[in-house]
Structure 1
Amino acid sequence: MPNYTRYIVTLTLFTLFYSNILKAQPKKGEYINASIGLGLNTSYYEEDGGGTGFYAQAEYAKGITKWIGIRSYAGILLTSGDKTNENGNPTEYRISSKAFSVGGKIRIAAPIPYIAPFIESGIGASIGSFQTYTPSTNLKKNGVLMHIPVSLGLAVGRKHSVDIGFSYYFYPSMKQISGAIAAGVAIPINN
């Protein structure tokens, strides 16, 4: 089985097992959400290239209503682009991120039973090293960069206990989009 297929099967089994045990948004209250996934990145303007790697994030979330919640987050994204293609020849694309990210965002969710779609956005900062090398772009930076997080996904389960989704970080100064395909579980606090 290829690595991606094994990863997707593992996430699916994890989701099915935990979806009826834990509690999460869309509901009122406070909770910690922990996510893990496959890290991805690409250039703003190029379809080829990109990198893959690891993604993990923890969030403190407060559901204000069943529709709206605020979240602060801290996470890590480690991706690297291939320097050679499948034939072993040097590639013209190297897009990578090795960063620790923090920030805040707002989630808007539709509290539909068992499957609640959501969208999130906000602002944050990433500390690390970044590279966007394509035929039209050659950027390499170390330090702190501003990013704009955007996430799309589903809160699934009887009590919407598991998040499955796509999380993206737009880095305007690097002309790069980093993100992940991830799954997370929410643990209620102060109940």
Structure 2
Amino acid sequence: MKPIKLQLFVFILLFLVFSKAFGQPKKGESLNVSVGLGVTTCYYDVDTSGSGFSAEVEYFWAPLSWFGVKPYAGVIFAHSESEKNEMFEAKVRTKAFLVGTKIRIAAPIPYVAPYIESGFGLSCGSFETFVAGHYDIDKSGIYPHIPLTLGLAVGRKHNFDIKLSYYFQDSAKQIYGSAAVGFSFPLD
């Protein structure tokens, strides 16, 4: 390594080791509110997806700066128009209330902390998945889902979120979720 590159590397390493960095808004409790573009698609490999609205509220308990537990509740309303061509006809629709718990693991980096969340939840609502020759599902009720969120906590206190949330529901052969922005309000 050249001397300047080595000095820069050592400086960055020391900065990261000794800086006061948090991957959550802070240790403690907060409330996260997010809204965004709701999306829905089916498991089958066809170009069918729908869009709409999504909103979510999460209670966030962070015992460590890089780990947190998040019970959540939210809604999603998304649908596609019926798509037809000579090979297939397909449409997908999701109207649901979501509730569950996620666990967050974050990289404690100043100002921009990437994170991943997953857990278990329930979806209550109506779900329609139609792909000619493959799926003809029209269900209403309460069904389990697996959430997966990839996001960035940004800002000096990491109180703004930019995230992609997905909910995998096998019973309706759907993946639905949102591209959302959120804000965290400290509770303590």
Same fold (TM over 0.5): yes
Q: Is the contact made by 1:26 and 1:116 (CA closer than 8 Å) also made in structure 2?
A: no
Q: C-alpha offsets along residues 79-135 of structure 1, whole Å, 9 cap, x if unaligned?
A: 0111256x9x9x711111000010001000001011100000000001100011113
Would you say 1:173 and 2:171 are equivalent positions? yes
Q: C-alpha offsets along residues 24-64 of structure 1, whole Å, 9 cap, x if unaligned?
A: 82521100000000000111122311110000000000011
Code of the residue aligned with 1:137 in structure 2: it is: Y
Q: Is the contact made by 1:131 and 1:174 (CA closer than 8 Å) also made in structure 2?
A: yes
Give ranges in structure 1 of 5+ residues lacking alignment.
1-22
**What is the aligned partner in structure 2 of residue 183 from structure 1?**
181
Q: Matched residues in 2 for 1:167 and 1:84: separation?
A: 25
Aligned with 1:79: secondary structure?
strand
Aligned with 1:25: secondary structure?
coil
Code of the residue aligned with 2:35 in structure 1: it is: I
**What is the aligned partner in structure 2 of residue 81 from structure 1?**
80
**What is the aligned partner in structure 2 of residue 57 from structure 1?**
56
Give ranges in structure 2 of 5+ residues lacking alignment.
1-21
Code of the residue aligned with 1:109 in structure 2: it is: A
TM-score, length basis structure 1: 0.82
**What is the aligned partner in structure 2 of residue 27 from structure 1?**
26
Q: Matched residues in 1 for 2:162 and 2:34: separation?
A: 9
Percent sequence identity is: 50
- Structure 2 residue aligned with 1:122, among 109, 116, 119? 119
Q: Is the contact made by 1:50 and 1:93 (CA closer than 8 Å) also made in structure 2?
A: no
Q: Is the contact made by 2:69 and 2:104 (CA closer than 8 Å) also made in structure 1?
A: yes
Code of the residue aligned with 1:131 in structure 2: it is: E
Q: Matched residues in 1 for 2:81 and 2:174: separation?
A: 16
Q: Matched residues in 1 for 2:45 and 2:63: separation?
A: 39
Would you say 1:111 and 2:108 are equivalent positions? yes
Q: Is the contact made by 1:24 and 1:186 (CA closer than 8 Å) also made in structure 2?
A: no
Q: Matched residues in 2 for 1:181 and 1:50: separation?
A: 14
Q: Is the contact made by 1:24 and 1:161 (CA closer than 8 Å) also made in structure 2?
A: no
TM-score, length basis structure 2: 0.83
**What is the aligned partner in structure 1 of residue 8 from structure 2?**
none
Runs of 4+ residues deviating >3 angstroms: none
Q: Is the contact made by 1:24 and 1:187 (CA closer than 8 Å) also made in structure 2?
A: no
| Bigger Rg, which one | 2
Q: C-alpha offsets along residues 146-177 of structure 1, whole Å, 9 cap, x if unaligned?
A: 00010001001111111101000000111110
CA spacing shift, 1:26–1:189, aligned 2, 3 Å: closer
